[in-house]
Amino acid sequence: MTNDDHGDALLALLNSTPVTDGVAEDLMADPAYAAGLARRFGGEGTASEVHELARARDGLQDVARTGTVGVELDQILHDVAQAPSPLTPDGLHWHLAGPAAALPAARAIIAWSDLVTRRPGRLRPCGNPDCRRFLVDRSKGNTGRWCSMATCGNRMKARRHYSRQHAAAEPEGRDRDEPRRTS
């Protein structure tokens, strides 16, 4: 699996707790989705792999939102080790060893670490406060703000436009929070 494949799988993992119509969801509650995600990280899709992957997801979401690394990530990695495989003409490859249940979650953590090391500041939460998704900003200027321009970007721009229009329509001297008087 390439770094980009792991990055795409990492984003799918981080975005597995979306808010839809104001209600938070957990896509990992769907056994088929969760098993498929575990397989994307090299697992077999077992219940124990899914459990550890959900723990990793929660910890990685916290890191991406707050910059604070929780103990669950270190716990997942505790018995996991990387060792070099024999050299090939393609270069050096690494073999991950440890408890089978922890390996997909460990690969997710490694993918996160690789992303924040290679592309610092590019992984961030969506700029829409009502959204729980994340984005990897691939723009040249590192100016991406939304997980999706079609949804969150348009919503946020519409909200700003609405606020500007209504602020301009308010009569001077009246506090915006003050209710309008009707006769």
* 179 within a domain of the structure (yes/no): no
* 41 within a domain of the structure (yes/no): yes
* 165 within a domain of the structure (yes/no): yes
Q: What are 164's two structure tokens?
A: 């500007």
**Total domain count for the chain?**
1
* 110 within a domain of the structure (yes/no): yes
DSSP state of 102: G
- Map residue 5 onto helix, strand or coil: helix
* 33 within a domain of the structure (yes/no): yes
Dist. CA 52–CA 101, nearest whole Å:
7
Dist. CA 100–CA 121, nearest whole Å:
31
- Map residue 23 onto helix, strand or coil: strand
Dist. CA 12–CA 133, nearest whole Å:
9
Question: Exposed, middle or buried, 114 (CB in 10 Å: 0-12/13-18/19+)?
Answer: middle
Residue listed under structure tokens 């006769």: 183
* 127 within a domain of the structure (yes/no): yes
pTM given for the model: 0.77
* 181 within a domain of the structure (yes/no): no
Dist. CA 50–CA 41, nearest whole Å:
11
Angle at which helices 31-40 and 47-66 cross, to 10°:
80
Which pLDDT score, from 0 to 100, does residue 154 have? 53
* 21 within a domain of the structure (yes/no): yes
- CATH code of the domain in which 82 resides: 1.10.3300.10
> pLDDT in tens for each of the 183 residues of the chain?
555 566 899 999 999 999 878 888 999 999 999 999 999 999 999 999 999 999 999 999 999 999 999 999 999 999 999 999 899 999 998 899 999 999 999 999 999 999 999 988 888 888 787 788 898 877 776 666 666 555 675 555 555 544 565 565 566 555 555 555 555
Domain range enclosing 37? 3-169
